[in-house]
Structure 1
Amino acid sequence: MAGWTEHTGQAVALPLESIDTDQLIPARFMSTPRSEGYGRFLLHDMRRDKDGTAIADMPLNRHPEASILVARRNFGSGSSREAAVYALVDFGFRAVIAPSFGDIFASNAVNNGLLPLKLDPQVVEEILVGLGGDCATATINLETCTLCIGDDRHGFDLPDKWRQKLMNGWDDIDLTRDRQQEILAFRAARRAEFGWAWPS
């Protein structure tokens, strides 16, 4: 997975709250191999009618070029399915902006290169109003932890480990491997001090 430090793309509004993982990708699509891509399943039942026809005024259908999604609170709640993140990433999203996220969703997002960007609810509402039914160019910088959209600039908090993962394209295993020398040194010191506890 490629890391990223700065992303400029089109932001689109989906002014709904509590969009859960079953909405992000309905369970019936999860038997599809990931190699075939999950993007077409993203928010399937919001984007398409019962006949499978795309709903014209659905924001993601109007703006398939968008790579930054803006939504209301509690985004990614529900079950822990990582496929919800796969669907967003495969559709082309690099970031989701919301006032709050499901904890497991947020961790899965970072491990797959997707930024869960948390902003104050009032700020999010201002962005949603500014976007309306349209798109706007936005730039996210992970080094400075800033979001620039239109003439507005917003700072955001991002845990250091999350920033390291996103910028390097790492998951939890890569983060552990980065400390391999420390791990080996600890093991050697432990073995030297407590040799009797080690099997012969």
Structure 2
Amino acid sequence: MEKFTSLTGVAAPLKITNIDTDMIIPKQYLKTIKRTGLGSGLFAELRYKEDGSENPDFVLNKPAYRNAQVLVAEDNFGCGSSREHAPWALLDFGIRCVISTSFADIFYNNCFKNGILPIKVSPEDLAKLMDDAGRGANATLSIDLDRQEIRGPDGGTIGFDIDPFRKHCLLNGLDDIGLTMEKAGRIESFEAKTAAERGWL
């Protein structure tokens, strides 16, 4: 998993409450178990019209936000069914950080396991960040995970809380497999001991 230490990028304002996982990545894109290639389906029902052409009114289709790396979203982001394809699609599009007042638990946990930083902020701070994100080409936010700070385009900072273990995993690029491999020496030692003591296994 790619490490997340700091990020400076365009933030897109997504002024929709209760964005569920089917809205993030519609069910027709769930036929694959690959983590790549899903970016084209991200928010497909909002990004595209029925004829397949782009919806010019959707924020990620606007020139200033086509390469957004941060989403500033309304309450209860990632609700609905539990599908890991949702963070896969965000990551494949280029989104590394989602900021909201609240997240659905399963989506929130899946973000950390895939190298995306979900940040919870107060409604007051979200309003400030939504205003920052509304500046088009000037909508740049800087995220410092080690300091747990978000810096806006005018230099103001907002702090955020994060579980220390999850912070450690993101800073070091450790998903579940990575965490297991950190114990490779102990695992090999156990297997060697077991093979010597129980040769019939």
> CA 1:35 to 1:114, structure 2 compared with 1: closer, same or farther past 3 Å?
closer
Please tell me the residue identity of whatever aligns with 1:137.
T
Aligned-pair distance for 1:179?
Answer: 5.0
Cα 1:102/1:54, change in 2 over 3 Å: same
1:171 aligns with 2:139: no
- Aligned Cα root-mean-square deviation (Å): 2.4
Aligned pair partner of 1:114 in 104, 111, 116: 116
Which amino acid in 2 is paired with 1:170? L
Counterpart AA for 2:61 = N
CA distance in 1, matches of 2:170, 2:133: 26
Aligned residue for 2:171, secondary structure, equals helix
Relative to the length of structure 1, the TM-score reads 0.86
Residues 84, 110 of structure 2: 8 Å contact kept: yes
Identity level (%): 39
CA distance change for structure 1 residues 41 and 124 in 2, over 3 Å: closer, same or farther? Answer: same
Structure 1 alignment gaps of length 5 or more: 188-199
Contact between 2:132 and 2:152, CA under 8 Å: does it hold in 1? no
Q: 1:36 to 1:86 in 2, by over 3 A?
A: closer
**Counterpart of 1:195?**
none
Tell me the SS of whatever aligns to 1:116: strand
Match of 1:143 among 128, 143, 146: 146
* Structure 2 contact 20–80 (Cα < 8 Å) conserved: yes
Q: For residues 103-137 of structure 1, give each alpha carbon's deviation from its aligned partner in whole angstroms, at most 9, with x where no partner exists.
A: 11011111110000111112102221333362511
Aligned counterparts of 2:145 and 2:29: Cα–Cα separation in 1? 33
SS in 2 for 1:85: helix
CA contact (8 A) 2:35 2:88 kept: no
Q: Normalization by structure 2: what TM-score? A: 0.86
Task: Show CA shifts across 1:33-52 (max 9, x none).
Answer: 52651000000001111111
Which residue type is aligned with residue 16 of structure 1?
A: I
